Amino acid sequence: MPEQDPKTRIHNFSEVALGYNLELAITEAKRCLQCKNPTCQQGCPVDVDCKTFIRFVAEGKLEEAYLTIQKTNSLPAVCGRVCPQENQCEGSCKLAPTGQPIAIGRLERFVADSYYAKHPCDDDKKQKECIGPKSRHKVAAIGSGPSSLTFAGYLALRGIKVTIFEALHEAGGVLVYGIPEFRLPKKIVHTELEALKAMGVEIKTNYVVGSTLNLQDIFDQGYEAIFIGVGAGLPRFLGLEGENLIGVYSANEYLTRVNLMRAYKFPDYDTPLPRGQNVVVIGGGNVAMDAARTALRLGAKKVYVVYRRTQQEMPARREELHHALDEGVRLKVLSSPVKFLGDEQGKLQKLVLQKMELGEPDASGRRSPIPIPGQFEEIVTDLAIIAVGTRSNPLLLQATPQLKLNQRGYIEINPDTGETSIPNVFAGGDIVTGAATVVLAMGAGRKAAQEVAKRLKLTA
């Protein structure tokens, strides 16, 4: 897929990948073997009929391709950009062993972008797809991230009135506050949200469930089922000396300021942000890559990603790591933070690192990092961003003691239905699994919606 040149893109927040044109999309789709047993679909957490939609693309039938995807995926333009296809549909493709699986994610993105460009709800022939709810039933979702949006989309297609209660002033959850513009443009998220609204989904922002209202309040308003998809937005910290120095941020706060609050456009948007010159990002996942690449675009001279294992063990998508390295991000692997050092004014100046080596595999199967005695290193830094994971936000959970939690503090559900310990209250996404991928959250929303549809005697 064509991309912006790295030397150009580090100076803007425009999307890195430029997308297929029709000719490239058809050429790629024609590579599909149209297998009798489409293992690609089996690898998709939301069960997209990849074989059929790709055949329609090869035939130039983009509307049919989009409608095929939409049957199971309410957010195709998002999934085509941020899902780890290499581990899912493309990883399950029969051509994967050749090293050249069909670019299913890129084709999905192309189909969605092409369809949305035509404003389908303005077309008289498609009005039936865009009308409001037809059923007397209504359900609610808490949080407007990918799991709730998928839950809402599935039921809205079946005529159910769905209301989403969102705590922030803008809907989209992690899609708007967590993922940078250059990876997922906000206009794409807004387009998908508008498509859901056209199907009858209502989104109410500035509703903090657990404070503004509780679950019983929602049931009292006549909702027959509730889906909890509030994510896991409470940042983890390291517990190190100096972590409270000026210049040490969680990735949650840093990315929320940039993405949701448009700090990269300050002072047009009144959200100040520290623009470090020597930036250190601690962590090795996609969030760490997002933070590091954002810091570059905000003018940093040097950006280091510190990770306690090797580059091969980094959990970030290969594509994101590749883009980061192309743009000039530097890796400090086999290094673990020990202490933050500041000046007399309490401002961050340096980060002390302990050098590591790999030992035996841990419980996850990865080799455990072990400190090398006496080997330390100092990095000069004026901005450190901690991207080592998140925990469940306790607000709703503390306000709802009837919800059964697991040992890690996440909501416990019936794995077959998504139902919690409270009847007709379902949950899915990061608030159940801990931090995971967008598409796994979508799969959880779909499973819960199927169960709700069954109970309301609808076609699931």
For residues 208 and 346, membership in a common domain is answered with no
Q: What is the pLDDT of residues 267-276, one digit of tens each?
A: 888 888 888 9
196-217 in b/e form (b: 16+ CB < 10 A) is bbbbbbbbeeebebbeebebee
The confidence score (pLDDT) of residue 1 equals 85
The confidence score (pLDDT) of residue 125 equals 43
The confidence score (pLDDT) of residue 117 equals 85
The confidence score (pLDDT) of residue 180 equals 95
Cα–Cα distance measured from residue 192 to residue 373, given in angstroms and rounded to the nearest whole number: 52
Residue 354 has pLDDT above 60, yes or no: yes
Q: What is the pLDDT of residues 76-96, one digit of tens each?
A: 999 999 988 999 999 999 999
The domain tally of the chain equals 3
Q: In 3-state terms, what secondary structure has residue 282?
A: strand
CB atoms within 10 A of CB 31: 13
For residues 132 and 109, membership in a common domain is answered with no
Estimate to the nearest angstrom the gap between the alpha carbon of 75 and the chain centroid. Answer: 11
For residues 15 and 69, membership in a common domain is answered with yes
The confidence score (pLDDT) of residue 270 equals 86
The confidence score (pLDDT) of residue 137 equals 92
Length of the chain, please? 460
Q: Is residue 27 part of a domain?
A: yes
**What average pLDDT does this structure show over 318-326?**
95
Q: Helix crossing, 62-70 with 104-116: angle to 10°?
A: 110
For residues 80 and 160, membership in a common domain is answered with no
Q: Is residue 1 part of a domain?
A: no
For residues 239 and 370, membership in a common domain is answered with yes
The confidence score (pLDDT) of residue 437 equals 85
C-beta of residue 240 within 8 angstroms of C-beta of residue 338: yes
Residue indicated by tokens 């084709």: 107
CB atoms within 10 A of CB 223: 19
Tally of helices (H runs) and strands (E runs) in the chain:
18, 15
Last residue of a domain, one of 70, 96, 118: 118
Cα–Cα distance measured from residue 413 to residue 106, given in angstroms and rounded to the nearest whole number: 33
pLDDT above 90: percentage of residues in the chain: 81
Residue 460 has pLDDT above 50, yes or no: no
The confidence score (pLDDT) of residue 459 equals 52
Q: Where are the alpha helices (DSSP H) in 117-209?
A: 127-130, 146-156, 174-177, 186-198
Q: What is the pLDDT of residues 183-192, one digit of tens each?
A: 999 999 999 9
- Mean residue pLDDT of the chain comes to 92
Q: What is the pLDDT of residues 107-152, one digit of tens each?
A: 999 999 999 887 545 444 444 454 555 678 999 999 999 999 999 9
CB neighbour class for 294 (10 Å; exposed up to 12, middle 13-18, buried from 19):
buried
Residue 441 has pLDDT above 70, yes or no: yes
For residues 250 and 290, membership in a common domain is answered with yes
The confidence score (pLDDT) of residue 66 equals 94
**Strands 348-361 and 335-342: what pairing?**
antiparallel
Closest CA to 283 of 242, 255, 257: 255
The confidence score (pLDDT) of residue 127 equals 42
Last residue of a domain, one of 118, 146, 162: 118
Residue 200 has pLDDT above 70, yes or no: yes
C-beta of residue 349 within 8 angstroms of C-beta of residue 369: no
Cα–Cα distance measured from residue 438 to residue 77, given in angstroms and rounded to the nearest whole number: 12
CB atoms within 10 A of CB 29: 24
The confidence score (pLDDT) of residue 126 equals 46
The confidence score (pLDDT) of residue 133 equals 55
On the CB side of 61, how many CA atoms lie within 13 Å of its CA?
11
What is each CA distance from 418 to 70, 220, 393, 445, 455, in whole angstroms?
22, 22, 19, 8, 13
For residues 38 and 23, membership in a common domain is answered with yes
Within 8 A by CB and 6+ apart from 403, the residues are 397, 411, 420, 421, 422, 425
Domain assignment of residue 359, given as a range: 235-390
Output the pTM of the full model. 0.89
> Residue 18 maps to which CATH number?
1.10.1060.10
For residues 423 and 329, membership in a common domain is answered with no
> What secondary structure does DSSP assign to 200-247, as a single string?
T-EEE-S--BTTTB-HHHHHHTT-S-EEE-----EEP----BTTTSBT
The confidence score (pLDDT) of residue 114 equals 94
Residue indicated by tokens 């997209």: 48
The confidence score (pLDDT) of residue 364 equals 78
Q: Is residue 304 part of a domain?
A: yes
> Residue 140 maps to which CATH number?
3.50.50.60
Q: What is the pLDDT of residues 246-262, one digit of tens each?
A: 999 999 999 999 999 98
Last residue of a domain, one of 341, 366, 390: 390
For residues 178 and 152, membership in a common domain is answered with yes
For residues 259 and 358, membership in a common domain is answered with yes
Within 8 A by CB and 6+ apart from 74, the residues are 149, 150, 152, 153, 154, 192, 195, 196, 442
For residues 336 and 347, membership in a common domain is answered with yes
**What average pLDDT does this structure show over 374-382?**
96
Q: Is residue 460 part of a domain?
A: no
Residue 423 has pLDDT above 60, yes or no: yes
Cα–Cα distance measured from residue 347 to residue 247, given in angstroms and rounded to the nearest whole number: 6
Q: Is residue 338 part of a domain?
A: yes
Q: What is the pLDDT of residues 26-68, one digit of tens each?
A: 999 999 999 999 999 999 999 999 999 999 999 999 999 999 9
- Phi, psi dihedrals of residue 354, rounded to the nearest 5°: -95, 125
**What average pLDDT does this structure show over 423-429?**
96
Q: Is residue 260 part of a domain?
A: yes
**What average pLDDT does this structure show over 293-319?**
95
For residues 91 and 33, membership in a common domain is answered with yes
**What average pLDDT does this structure show over 230-244?**
94
